[in-house]
Amino acid sequence: TLRTNSSGAAHYVQVTFTVGPQYDINENSGLIPLDSVRAGKGTFFSQGGLVHKCMDYTDGSFADVAAFNASLLQPCAPGASMCVSPASIPDQFVVFNIPLGLDYFGDAANDLSNNIFVDMVISAVDTVARGKATNPNAGNPPWQMKTTLTAS
């Protein structure tokens, strides 16, 4: 099928980052806990109306999920998987796709009102520190690393 208009387009944001070679996935929560992933749109972060996009996507409350997924399966679409925390990170490069919705951006804006804001937790294990008896409360390095990634 040849697509001749842009309505019904599946909009998503792809977050990429690297982790150090000593880090591995936290087996308890995964590298990216899905309940931590929030995204929104606005001029400023405080106006972004951040929503738990991955929780909505995986629990079925995401609007028009069937049409969104069908749009991603078209021959011209990237076929990206949404809200999949990586099972391994052999090259330390992480790619994570967050669904925004069908026609999320609407009309073009000549201001900054279409800025996308993302907030999510990265939960990793320091494999070097894990092999040692560590006590973060005594000033030693912790073996679990959690940080919040906030970007626009």
For residue 113, the 8-state DSSP code is T
Structure pTM? 0.81
In angstroms, the Cα distances linking 60 to 55, 63, 132 are 8, 8, 42
141/82 Cα distance (integer angstroms) = 33
Q: Which helix (H) or strand (E) holds 72?
A: helix 65-72
Amino acid found at 132: K
- Per residue in 43-91, pLDDT (tens digit) is 776 655 888 999 998 887 888 888 888 888 888 778 789 999 999 998 9
84/86 Cα distance (integer angstroms) = 6
- Per residue in 82-133, pLDDT (tens digit) is 999 999 998 999 999 999 988 887 777 777 777 888 989 888 888 877 665 5
1/133 Cα distance (integer angstroms) = 60
Token pair belonging to 32: 């990216």
